[in-house]
Amino acid sequence: MTGPSGVGLGETIVLVAAASAALPRLRRRIELSLAKPRSLAGHARIASWIAAQVPFYEFREPYCFQADNAPAPVAAQRRAGFERLAARYAARFARTAAETARTAGALPDWQLTSRYRVPFPFAGLIRNAFPAAVLASASQGCELIDLDGNRLLDLTGSYGVNVFGYEHYKECIARGAARVHELGPVLGTYHPLIADNVARLQEISGHGQVSFHMSGTEAVMQAVRLARYHTRRRYLVRFGGAYHGWWGEVQPGPGNPVPARDTLTLREMHPATLRVLRSRSDIACVLVNPLQALHPNAPAPADSTLTGSVRRAHFDRAAYAEWLHALREVCTQRGIPLIFDEVFVGFRLARGGAQEYFGVRADLVTYGKTIAGGLPIGVVCGRADLMRRFSAERPADLCLARGTFNSHPYVMGAMNEFLRRLDSPFVAGCYRDLDRTWQTRAAALNERLKDAGLNARVAALSSIWTVWYPRPSRYNWMLQYYLRTAGLALSWVGTGRLIFSLNYGEAEFAEVSDRFVAAAQQMQADGWWWEGVADERAIKARLLKEMLVARLRRHSSGRSALRATDTAALGDRA
Ligand SMILES: Cc1ncc(COP(=O)(O)O)c(C=O)c1O
């Protein structure tokens, strides 16, 4: 029997059956698409493809001083300012830069970080004028002392390790080492101090089980592995832009040559994500880095990607807490382990970390950085049923975690000093009014910057800050060199991340503030924040044009530098 369309009943039934089988899959796909971040952060394969298409090119004179199409007098003003600053920098960091250069050629890590301090077309110009000076011989109070004897106020925070000031860590390491000295570096048996560390971590984390690893990356690997083992599910959910170490599965996209097939990158603080978690039954865990509260769905800000003024940051504690509560609820309903990766924020936001600060309990928590009193570490604390590495019913089915140096006696010693000192009056003083102190300081600095008409502001998540730029400019990354020359030490991501230790008193902070404002004023006086730039769209259009010209030039002549003559191709006034 056939219907009016000529399709038989049997075929119709097959089609309807196929359609109904396909529909839930289609719905799942659509739901997943809606939950992906709008940026490339949610589309690892496309992001990797695009990254591979970007051609290398670099700017030379005079284009490098007028990449925003500024008129010749502004370019001349910038050039003069650049030379003055470079001369001051060279005088101030002569020995440190020379010694850095002697070893740097053999350090791939340094080669990468020195190359990516600014957007790559400007990197050549900067490398010559501001050679990296990354050696220091001492630390004292809030300062780093380099080989030239410069005392730089430290805003690097040692990648976040330095929460209580370097003196604190020096003492933790020295006293911790003294306490385990008798045993020495014996591995495989534990120093008895481990018992006190476990007890303190149980109290702080609110979880019964504790495992020790060698880095934050390894702690995250273990937490995710345990979640997969116990749920027997496949997918790890992480959020756009969030950093969880350099393990491939938490770093999909550019930077990792292996596709992370079992990772779903979703949108943070968005109901579409909750819908996905609610409807799927193959999610093994949800991994949260609470640092993202400062810039949800955006990667850690770095000056190498500061091509315009697109960096945005804003912290809303109540909104983020609400989001974490919503996540908690859906994870509980669906039996999905919720992992807080507190490697960065643990002990920095509050004694009890992000769990305490946002009032939400996770199933597994990772710690690292500061928790071993300055020595390398990763820790997982979690619910007993999730932390178990074997199955009572299936004796051959294990979930292993290994590491020669796990629970190293010297690390346990320094950790014990660190954990004990959390109850000291000094640390209690650091935590007192913590949020108010740092939000007030950020607001005061912003007030000064605004009053002085400067194109820079800071956004703060407690003592973790980022600089953002209200008006469009292609040269915002120059600020890092003005800051450095003014005596403020930044990490290689430049103005993307300023990390304060909590021992910064009012006097030290006032000094940071003065140096910051003076540096920004100098940058303004040197013409980098020329106000003629149309808007962010104009900057993006120009970038695209530059890339196209670079690609074409490369095809036709193999050249990779954009010169004065190329400015004609860019439709310039040159
Ligand atoms: C949130 C978070 N997780 C994991 C890591 C990785 O820690 P590690 O560098 O000790 O491997 C980091 C490091 O910055 C981090 O910030």
Pick the CATH number of 187-296+315-389+398-427 from 3.40.640.10, 1.20.1260.10, 3.30.365.10, 1.10.220.110: 3.40.640.10
**Chain centroid offset of residue 301 CA:** 7
Residue with CA closest to ligand 1 atom 12: 245
Cross-strand partners of 59: 562
Quick: pLDDT tens for 65-106: 999 999 999 999 999 999 999 999 999 999 999 999 999 889
Q: How far is CA 25 from the centre of its chain?
A: 35
Q: With a cut of 60, say whether residue 3 has pLDDT above it.
A: no
| Pocket perturbation via mutation, ligand 1, pick of 217, 238, 406 by most ligand atoms within 8 A of CB | 217
Q: What angle do CA 497, 499, 501 make, to 5 degrees?
A: 180
209, pLDDT greater than 60: yes
Question: pLDDT band at residue 55, thresholds of 50, 70 and 90?
Answer: confident
Using DSSP's 3-state secondary structure scheme, residue 187 falls into: coil
Question: Can you tell me the distance from the alpha carbon of 233 to that of 282, in angstroms, rounded to the nearest whole number?
Answer: 5
Q: Is the CB of 245 under 6 A from ligand 1?
A: yes
For residue 68, the SS3 value is: coil
Q: Among the listed ranges 37-41, 108-112, 139-143, 409-413, which one has the minimum average pLDDT value?
A: 37-41
Sign of the C-alpha dihedral, residues 330, 331, 336, 339?
positive
CA atoms within 13 A of residue 422's CA, in its CB half-sphere:
22
Is residue 572's pLDDT more than 50? no
- Residue 153's pLDDT is 98
The single residue listed with the structure tokens 């509260």 is: 293
Alpha carbons 570 and 230: distance in angstroms, whole number: 58
State the pairing for strand pair 58-59/143-146. Answer: unpaired
Ligand 1 mutation pick, 243, 292, 349, 366, max ligand atoms within 8 A of CB? 243
In the predicted model, is pLDDT for residue 227 greater than 50? yes
C-beta of 343 in contact with ligand 1 (< 6 A)? yes
Give the helix/strand (H/E) hosting 488.
strand 488-489
Which ligand 1 atom is nearest residue 291's CA?
Answer: 1
Measured CA to CA, the distance from residue 319 to residue 314 in angstroms comes to: 11
Pocket of ligand 1 contains residue 217 by CB under 6 Å: yes
* Segment 189-205 mean pLDDT: 98
**What's the pLDDT score for residue 296?**
96
Predicted local confidence at residue 5, as pLDDT: 52
- Most confident by average pLDDT, 96-105, 126-135, 372-381: 372-381
* Tokens linked to 288: 């949260």
Q: What is the tens place of the pLDDT at every residue in 9-22?
A: 677 777 766 766 67
Phi then psi for 154, rounded to 5 degrees? -85, 115
Stated pTM of the model: 0.92
- What is the number of the ligand 1 atom nearest to the C-alpha of 378? 10
Integer Cα distance of 93 and 134 in angstroms: 10
What lies within 8 Å, CB to CB, of 123 at 6+ separation is 58, 115, 116, 117
Assess whether the C-beta atom of 215 lies below 6 angstroms from ligand 1: yes
Higher pLDDT, 49 or 85: 85
Pair type for strands 488-489 and 151-154: parallel
> What sign does the dihedral 466-467-472-477 (CA atoms) show?
negative
Q: How far apart are CA 327 and CA 153, in angstroms?
A: 39
Tens-place pLDDT, residues 497-552: 999 999 999 999 999 999 999 999 999 999 999 999 888 899 999 999 988 888 88
Say how far apart CA 185 and CA 170 lie, in whole Å. Answer: 19
**Strand 143-146 to 136-140 pairing:** antiparallel
* Overall average pLDDT of the 245-258 stretch: 93
Query: What pLDDT, on the 0 to 100 scale, is given for residue 424?
Result: 97
- Kindly indicate the confidence band of residue 564, based on its pLDDT and cuts at 50, 70 and 90: very low
Measured CA to CA, the distance from residue 134 to residue 175 in angstroms comes to 28
Calculate how far, in angstroms, residue 247's C-alpha sits from the geometric centre of ligand 1: 10
Provide the pLDDT confidence category of residue 7 given band limits of 50, 70 and 90. low
**Region 66-163+433-525: CATH code:** 3.90.1150.10
Nearest in space to 310 (alpha carbons), one of 529, 490, 540: 540
Check if 220 has its Cβ closer than 6 Å to any atom of ligand 1. yes
Of 32-46, 200-214, 245-259, the poorest mean pLDDT is in 32-46
Question: Residue 441: what pLDDT?
Answer: 98
Between strands 498-499 and 464-468, the pairing is antiparallel
CA atoms in the 13 A half-sphere facing the CB of 63? 21
Outline which parts of the chain fall under CATH 3.90.1150.10.
66-163+433-525
For the four alpha carbons of 439, 347, 368 and 263, in that order, the dihedral sign comes to negative
Cα R_g (the chain), whole angstroms:
26
Q: Average of pLDDT values for 210-217?
A: 98
Instruction: Report pLDDT for 1.
Output: 45
Task: Give percent of the chain with pLDDT exceeding 90.
Answer: 80
Cα–Cα distance measured from residue 571 to residue 566, given in angstroms and rounded to the nearest whole number: 9
Is the distance from the beta carbon of residue 244 to the nearest atom of ligand 1 less than 6 Å? yes
What are 428-477's pLDDT values in tens digits? Answer: 999 999 999 999 999 999 999 999 999 999 999 999 999 999 999 999 99
**Residue range(s) in the chain whose domain bears CATH number 3.40.640.10:** 187-296+315-389+398-427
The per-residue pLDDT for 571 is 44
Q: How confident is the model at residue 573 (pLDDT cuts 50, 70, 90)?
A: very low
Q: What average pLDDT is seen over the chain? A: 93
* pLDDT per position as a tens digit, 323-337: 999 999 999 999 999
Virtual CA dihedral for 50, 55, 58, 64, nearest 10 degrees? -50
pLDDT at residue 273 above 90? yes
Let me know how long the chain is: 574
User: Which tens digits make up the pLDDT trace of 280-295?
Assistant: 999 999 999 999 999 9
**CA–CA distance, 378 with 225 (Å, rounded to integer):** 15
Return the best residue to mutate from 287, 288, 344 for the ligand 1 pocket (most ligand atoms within 8 A of CB): 344
- List strand residue ranges (DSSP E) for 257-343, in order: 263-266, 283-288, 338-341
First-residue to last-residue Cα distance in the chain:
77
Contact indicator for 291, 345 with CB cutoff of 8 Å: yes
Q: Prior bond to 4 cis, omega within 30?
A: no
Rounded to 5 degrees, φ, ψ at 503 are -85, 5
User: Is 574's pLDDT higher than 50?
Assistant: no
Helix (H, G, I), strand (E, B) or coil at 288: strand
Q: Is the pLDDT of residue 197 over 60?
A: yes
